[in-house]
Amino acid sequence: GENVEQHPSTLSVQEGDSAVIKCTYSDSASNYFPWYKQELGKRPQLIIDIRSNVGEKKDQRIAVTLNKTAKHFSLHITETQPEDSAVYFCAEDFNKFYFGSGTKLNVKP
Amino acid sequence: DVKVTQSSRYLVKRTGEKVFLECVQDMDHENMFWYRQDPGLGLRLIYFSYDVKMKEKGDIPEGYSVSREKKERFSLILESASTNQTSMYLCASSWGQGAIPLSSPLHFGNGTRLTVT
């Protein structure tokens, strides 16, 4: 959606490297920022989320950071594995969910 | 685990037909959503509902309508299907707080790939 810009649209990394996907949003009232992973032919599934009162959240190899002043949030995947290959969507809520356009991550073995 | 079930995985319809896409969730969620997913455009919200018989327009409601007669079921209706409505349609549900359907994760169905010829 136009409220959320997501970059890059495609990302190719070597197995074991880190991957970073960034999103910017426009409305300062947004307070919830989830990330979804969609494998080929499957439904999007929540992998991590962050609320506006928190600056960073980590879950094993996945972390999300939020900069409210700059209105951007990022997904960080460390020690990437081939099974991380998928399309990743960021989202933010302001009255209704807006999604980014997606990042296709390819992890090369 | 939340289960969101969409009635059809693949659907082929002709231009001008009336099309019904059905979605059922089993977690007593207040909120339900319909998105369409197109390459390079991400997920775009068509309609959502935060209560039975309630509906709100999303970003691209033109050519669509919805029905929510029961809490667990949210139907998307294409009144007169057109080729530009060929897409993947995703239903989702989430826990809500009445008219403030915010800040809780969406649970998606498997999607319905609709082709209009």
For A13-43, write each residue's pLDDT tens digit.
999 999 999 999 988 888 889 999 999 989 9
pLDDT, residue A1, reads 44
Which residue from B41, B45, B109 is facing A97, i.e. has the nearest CB? Answer: B45
Which letter does DSSP use for residue A42 in this model? S
Cβ–Cβ of B90/A44 closer than 8 Å?
Answer: yes
Name the nearest CA neighbour of A98 among A6, A13, A19: A6
Q: What pLDDT band is residue B101 in, cutting at 50, 70 and 90? A: very low
Compute the count of residue pairs across chains A and B with CB atoms less than 8 Å apart: 55
Cβ–Cβ of A95/B45 closer than 8 Å?
Answer: no
pLDDT at B99 over 80: no
pLDDT at B26 over 90: yes
pLDDT at A10 over 50: yes
For chain A, give the percent of residues with pLDDT over 90.
79
Average pLDDT of the segment spanning B67-75: 96
What is the C-alpha to C-alpha distance for residues B3 and B1, in angstroms, rounded to an integer?
A: 6
pLDDT, residue B104, reads 82
pLDDT, residue B53, reads 86
Q: Which residues of A touch B104 (CB under 8 A)?
A: 32
What is the C-alpha to C-alpha distance for residues B79 and B37, in angstroms, rounded to an integer?
A: 19
Cβ–Cβ of A96/B48 closer than 8 Å?
Answer: yes
